[in-house]
Amino acid sequence: MEHSELIAEMAYIEKLSTQERLKLARRRRMQQMKKWSQKEREITGSKREKTAQNEAQKRRRENRKSVMFINNVMLLEAAARNDIDEVQALLEAGVNPDSTNEDGLTALHQCCIDDSEEMMRLLVHHGADVNAQDSEKWTPLHAAATCGHLHLAKFLIAKGANLLAVNADGNMPYDICEDDATLDYIEGEMARRGVTQRLIDETRSATETQMLNDLKHMKSEGQSLMFRDHQGATPLHIAAANGYVRVVEYLLSQNVPTEVRDHDDWSPLHAAACWGHPDVLELLVQNGANLHARTKNQETPYDICEDAELRERIMQLISEQETKRIHDQTKRVRRTHSNTRTQSVRRTSIREKTLTPKKEAQEEARIRLQLENKKKPLQEDSPALGGLRAVEEGGESSPLTTFPAVIPANNNNTK
């Protein structure tokens, strides 16, 4: 009820007995409860309806994602089986021809490995990227070249495959091609397109150069060179893992520490050892990197290195460090002994310098006494003779004060 209605019925309520007032109050309270209950049901129903709608939309989105995921897997699986019909049906149904697996491999990579030209033509016809890269930056042309599939390489190059594509190891397709016919064709195409060694070198180092320029720009802007990615890796980790010697040299010149660790306690030295970059590894060791550093799994750089030659070099570096440590320790001990002898010589020299005036004075006094004795013999208790004995016996009196510059004749001392 409104407030005005309650005021209006006050006169009526005053005329009611106590029992009648209680009945009226109960009736009013029941009406309030009914209205509240009805309102609550309306609110709850509205919420449930919205929740149901949201759940339905969520299920539709999930179903749509699940279907796309399943179709992607089906495409890769069908391509691996070389099932042309199923792949064609999936592509015509709208499945992405560049779908990848957990390693970044596409169906086009797969047919280059399996030597399936018909599958390749089908995929390219439906828009597959001939320069698609997997997680290691391998393109389909890398795969065709390393497998020695000449006809596939020809088709890919004709469709615009990049002859100078660089993978994570810094290799171009011709670098990893061991089949003579395929290699001749790729190199011939490179020559026909005017590819020079300078262009090859510039392209191969383009990523390193870009990283170096970016770091220099950051430094000029006053930014830190110790930023990290989501795995805790610093630029020094990244440069070491990729073998970017110039970047490593620049970072070390900026006093970036070599013992910085990522979330797995890997140091840049671990990265260089794992990915097989001996130049970077030696550069880090020369700047104080610890060859005995351990990861969370208690692995040293030697433990995680898979390259036999690099493992041997790591052992040589460890041996060289130990030899240098022993040599430095021995050198310090020798220097300590040398300092002791030097101090002894210095102390001896000081004593000799102190005694030199006394010796000279003694010799001068002796000569004078000899000259005097030739004229007049001295008595045993002569002051001059006593002074000489005192000096000869190492007394404290100075010969220069005991004897005058010229000893006068003393008749009383003659016998």
Question: What's the mean per-residue pLDDT of the chain?
Answer: 80
How confident is the model over 333-340, as a mean pLDDT? 60
* Helix (DSSP H) and strand (DSSP E) numbers for the chain: 19, 0
Higher pLDDT, 337 or 117: 117
CA distance 61 to 393: 115
Cβ pair 157, 141 in contact under 8 A: yes
For residue 60, name the pLDDT band (cuts at 50, 70, 90): low
Question: Among the listed ranges 11-20, 88-97, 159-168, which one has the minimum average pLDDT value?
Answer: 11-20
For 352-366, the pLDDT digits (tens) are 555 556 666 677 777
- Give CA–CA dist 171/142, Å, rounded: 9
* Mean local confidence (pLDDT), 271-276: 94
Query: Token pair of 67, please?
Result: 């279907």
pLDDT (0 to 100) of residue 273: 95
pLDDT at 56 over 80: no
Q: Is 126 helix (H, G, I), strand (E, B) or coil?
A: coil
Asked whether the predicted pLDDT for residue 74 surpasses 60, the reply is yes
Burial of 400 (0-12, 13-18, 19+ CB in 10 A): middle
Asked if domains 101-204 and 207-306 share a fold, the reply is yes
User: Structural domain boundaries of the chain?
Assistant: 3-58, 101-204, 207-306, 325-413
Does domain 207-306 fall into CATH 1.10.1370.30? no
Residues 6 or more apart whose Cβ sits within 8 Å of residue 390: 397, 402
Report the alpha-carbon distance of residue 413 to residue 407 in Å, rounded: 13
Range 84-102 average pLDDT = 93
The lowest-confidence range among 37-41, 138-142, 376-380 is 376-380
For 295, what's the count of Cα atoms within 13 Å in the CB-facing half-sphere? 18
Q: Dump the DSSP string for 41-109.
A: HHHHHHHHHHHHHHHHHHHHHHHHHHHHHHHHHHHHHHHHTT-HHHHHHHHHTT--TT-B-TT--BHHH
Query: Looking at the domain 101-204, which fold is it?
Result: 1.25.40
* Residue whose tokens read 């021995």: 330
Q: How far is CA 354 from CA 245, 349, 360, 367, 403, in A?
A: 63, 9, 11, 22, 20
Both tokens of residue 119? 């599958």
